[in-house]
Structure 1
Amino acid sequence: MLKPTVVMGLDVDYLPHDAVHVMQRGGDIDQLVVPHLYDLTHIAPKNAGYCVAEVLKEKQQDFREHSSSFPGLDTLVFLKLVSHLFPTSDFRHPVTTPAFVFMCQMLHQCKVKTYRDVAVGLFLVTLIMEYTVLSKRFSPAAISFLHGVLDMAVPKTNIKSASVVYPVRITAKARNLLVVSEPSVVSDMRTQLMNVDDLREKIPEDGSFKLRALHTAVKLLLEFCCHLENLSASYHIFKPVVNTLKQIDVEKYPRFLQEDICSVISKTEEMAHKKLQFMVMEKKKPKALRLYEPRIEEVFDGRKRRPMGKARQEHEKLLHKYKREMKGAIREIRRDKSFLAKLKLKETLQNDMERKQKVKEIFGSAAMQQGELRKLKRKK
């Protein structure tokens, strides 16, 4: 029978790949994969954290070899599993924190070239929102990528002169990737969000993906506005994004998307009216009141004392204390010496008594032997 620690290591290595096949067949990994791993994580949390961290290192090492391309579906599923297995609200966690940094690194370094890159980037932004929804942390990479997605929906006449939304790396050919040429008449809002099929290698080039990508980006941006509205710099964070959002031709998009865009703009305008607290110097401690030394009059006791300064008085006091301690030490030494002498005398007397007793016994035994010897001589 395999130990739970061994099973956890095998599951972490192979389950993300199996989960990819499950998702491609239309299965739900939250019901098929996550409960099993969650139970194993609670049985051996330290070993589970070590196994997941090692796999995360391997994923990051593979990403370094192709840092300009977004990862495969197995890496995305693995990052999704991390948020289900480990807490995301900790200030610093040995598994969640490296995964969060890894996602931010991918958003910074990967180039956006195709529709799939946009879909994977939005998926990573969604994961970042899940990682930061409890801790209310600010992720510049997520906001910058959403800014880049909105910038791709703004029509540009000259692609080469288009401003780059730093640090998102968007190629020149993808600057107008999400621009809609014809008005959309979609009325169902639920079907116009990103799904698992958008993470495939080949995505059909049609207007529905552009609408889903833009709608998902606006929804995520609205969520981030709600989560970060308490920050003092929230308005300055979302102001460039809203400026790009205002350049989008909203008349070509459905009614529900126009309402979401208006919600983001109004939310940002509310942040602009929020009063900021000025930076102030730290309050100093109040100065203590000036105290006066008491006037002490010496009482005459009939003895004459030589006038001495404070230093001389301290010296005399220490000298008197030294003499007193010396007398006490000499007294203790004398007592110890007397006690040791008594013990030595007692031991000497006891040894003398024992020696006298042994001598008496020896003389007695010798007298008995002499008497017996005389008896033998008489008999002869």
Structure 2
Amino acid sequence: MLDHPDVTALYDRYLSLAADGGTPRARDAAEQLGVSEAELVEAKGTAGLSRALRPHEERGFAPLLEQMPEMGEVMVLTRNQSCVHERHGTFGNVRIGEKMGLVLNKSVDLRIFINHWASGFAVEEDVKSGKRLSLQFFDPQGTAIHKIYATAKTDRPAFEALIEAWVDRNPQKLVPLPPEPPKADRPDSEIDVPALRRDWQAMTDTHQFFGMLRRHKTGRLQALRLAGDDLSHRVAADAAARMLDMAAADAVPIMVFVANKGCIQIHSGPVSTIKTMGPWLNVLDPEFNLHLRTDHIAESRIVRKPTKDGIVTSLELFDSEGGVICTFFGERHEGEGELAGWRDVLARLEREVAA
């Protein structure tokens, strides 16, 4: 346990906040207390509810993640400011290099940018079902990147042994870096739009899109605005809700991508239980949950990218600063064309806008 007066004082402030209005979620509580979520999790160590994890000297938390297939089923959670993606499943096919990594099981499907994983904790919480154990990882600013929760199907002794092997016996107080301001786009007038369109139409793989943005030094939403309606056009703000309702009704399997700067988490498969609760649009299925803040959606776009397997179409959601909230595709695999059912769902969305 870290013995530091600032950490102890923060935990006392957290207890007062919880006593005044119940126990808010960690991210919300941290915001109310004016600290990062990582600092709040660190402070919970005062009561023995968290323990810092020790990254490998050269590979950071990569070796820990490479042990996760041995844990059995877990629940993985990746979120950004506006969307939470939760998936039950097992790790497998874990490959992590110096900066990037992959977890390529269908149930746990991740793209990992390991150089952003700055700190980690083992966390124990009291919930209605009992003690909930998790591993929680944060970026240099103390923002949550990825969380891994033990479930009833987890090999609990193996999970606890993993924690013991990686606990930092001499933790130092966290000193998060200040938040990074959003990077401003260049003026539209400086973008060579005809060249952008030529490069876009010449793509043979959706992953080439990111290299194209770098070459043209354009922001993602900026490129979508400039490319032309045949490649990207705006649809209604409630397009995600309409799309999920139609995909559920027609049993169209979809892919749901939620990302932050350290991790992309992907669900592939059908969705069935769609519910709206206040500003939150939710998918509440046994193996997959999505929680989307609809009041944060400033722009929704249908985007078409050429590949060697034909056009691939996505529904992409953006916040008021142009950041990506969530991206949806029809389920597909390398070498396969796009699902006719997915194209039909998006065609109906487009007809609604036209009407």
Band the TM-score falls in, shorter-chain normalisation: under 0.3
Query: TM-score if structure 1 supplies the norm length?
Result: 0.23
Higher relative contact order (CA 8 A, sep 6+): 2
Query: TM-score if structure 2 supplies the norm length?
Result: 0.24
